[in-house]
Amino acid sequence: MTTARPATPRGQRAAGRLPDLVPALVRLLIAVGAGAVLALWWRHTASVTGAGDWLTGAGRITGLLAGYACAVLLLLMARVPLLDHVIGTDRLARWHAMGGRYTVCLASAHVLLIVGGYALSSGTGVVSQATTLVLDYPDLLKGTVGFLLLLATGWLSARAVRRRVSYETWHHLHLATYLAVFLAFWHQLSDGADFVTDPPARLAWYVLYGAVATALAWYRFVVPVRQALRHRLRVAEVRPEAPGVVSVYLTGRRLEALRARPGQFFRWRFLAPGMWWAANPYSLSAPAHPTYLRITVKAAGAHSAAVARLAPGTRVLAEGPYGAFTARRRHDRKVLLVAGGVGITPLRALFETLPGEVTLVYRARRPEDLALRGELDAVAAARRATVHYAVDEPAGHGLPMTARALRRLVPDIAGREVYLCGPPGMTDAARRALRGAGVPRRRIHHESFAL
């Protein structure tokens, strides 16, 4: 179904380029910090002579960088509002994942280089030297346990392994990272040559880790508890929307104080039997209202399937709002929204509220899988926007995710800002098609809410 093209846009061009500048500034600050860490090593290294010293020096460098990287990784996932709302949760998660791989490599290199360097300098075997280090050096047994935990977390986060475990299992096992960093921290200060004889360097390391620990404690524990006490969210209604898809309406107090924007998501913890221990991310499927919020959930696992059975009155803890998949990313008056399956949920809220000329393309497997279709038609009629539906079954009503098909459907696509949400396979294909249709990469906005 297609409604008329929009005649007059609403609103004005989004002001400022803060979302474009902040990621670059954050990357610059991270690089400056790494430079300062290398300067610390340089300051304490008078000379390097012999193969043993070269290996030990390289081990010190990789150890310092691994310790610094651990602090950065934790800060990226501390859910600091400035970072989360401007950079975006999924981009921070990608940085965290990439940084995690580097950190595991640096930590592994540190262990191998230090053991090898010490063994070469002392003329002992590698196994004997490793045993001596672990058992005789202060806090090195803790550091070894932390290193093994870091390796295990890195293995669990590998893409091939990650796909085989549920989100809840992966999330809770990933918390071992905190313990790994805690154990390694004491080893750094007790055994690190750059800290043992340099009180200012020790103080700087304490300040770095103390600031990260404070951010984690505040934004991941204190703020959610304070929000729960203030807003007292409860399930008001669970309403079927499509096969396996339900909308959950939640009521509470002073919900306008949450300042949730269309396109953002919360991590929801439903205090029901078998569900209270998991906090899963679900985006708002309607603009936030002063008296209620709404999410729309598809049964894709044990937790999401149980959402359909929630009883009215169930208490809810909500952490958020999170994400930068909002109107703040928009720079132009013409916008294209591309949704696949339950990916319509954040785009439904954006479809109603984004100013300018908006077109929505919504793909699903069958007509009955087009959740919230009645609302989308009503929004399109009210704001004189355009909505295109495409289904795989029955044949003949689909939309090939190709540049040619998208240009035929939206002739001016190259001049539009694009918001994209859906299953990974669909979004990957859509990004390639959009680039092929002439949409610049910087105008394609996508955020994964499963991270």
| pLDDT for 2 beyond 70 | no
In 216-369, the DSSP E strands lie at: 233-242, 245-251, 265-270, 280-283, 292-298, 315-322, 334-340, 357-364
Amino acid identity, position 419: Y
Q: What is the DSSP-derived secondary structure letter of residue 284?
A: B
Residues 61, 159: one domain? yes
What's the confidence (pLDDT) of residue 7?
38
Residues 154, 186: one domain? yes
| pLDDT for 10 beyond 50 | no
Report the relative pairing of strands 417-421 and 280-283 from DSSP bridges. unpaired
Output the domain CATH number for residue 420: 3.40.50.80
Residues 377, 435: one domain? yes
Higher pLDDT, 9 or 430: 430
Q: Which two tokens stand for residue 201?
A: 């360097």
Please calculate the CA angle 360-363-367 and round it to the nearest 5 degrees: 115
Look at residue 451 and tell me if it is in a domain.
no
| pLDDT for 146 beyond 70 | yes
Q: Which two tokens stand for residue 228?
A: 């729960």
Q: Which residues form the domain of 42?
A: 18-223
Residues 168, 41: one domain? yes
Stated pTM of the model: 0.81
Residues 435, 385: one domain? yes
Residues 78, 218: one domain? yes
Give helix 140-157 / helix 89-122 axis angle, nearest 10°.
140
17-21 average pLDDT score: 64
Q: In what order do the strands lie in the sheet with 334-340?
A: 386-391, 357-364, 334-340, 417-421, 444-446
Point out the domain boundary residue: 189, 208, 223.
223
What's the confidence (pLDDT) of residue 15?
39
Report percent pLDDT > 70 for the chain.
Answer: 91
Report the relative pairing of strands 357-364 and 334-340 from DSSP bridges. parallel
Structural contact between residues 284 and 262, judged by C-beta atoms closer than 8 angstroms: yes
Q: What is the C-alpha to C-alpha distance for residues 26 and 314, in angstroms, rounded to an integer? A: 40
**pLDDT tens column, 379-396:** 999 999 999 999 988 876
Average pLDDT of the chain? 88
Look at residue 41 and tell me if it is in a domain.
yes
Residues 108, 32: one domain? yes
Q: In what order do the strands lie in the sheet with 233-242?
A: 280-283, 265-270, 315-322, 233-242, 245-251, 292-298
Residues 382, 305: one domain? no
Residues 332, 205: one domain? no
Residues 335, 437: one domain? yes
| pLDDT for 424 beyond 80 | yes
Report percent pLDDT > 90 for the chain.
Answer: 60
Cα within 13 Å of Cα(281), Cβ side: 18
SS3 state at 203? helix
| pLDDT for 14 beyond 60 | no
Look at residue 10 and tell me if it is in a domain.
no
Our count of domains for the chain comes to 3
Structural contact between residues 340 and 431, judged by C-beta atoms closer than 8 angstroms: no
User: Which of 12-16, 46-50, 356-360 shows the lowest per-residue confidence on average (mean pLDDT)?
Assistant: 12-16
Residues 283, 194: one domain? no
Q: What is the C-alpha to C-alpha distance for residues 272 and 314, in angstroms, rounded to an integer? A: 7
Q: Residue 30: which residues within 8 A CB-CB, separation 6 or more?
A: 72
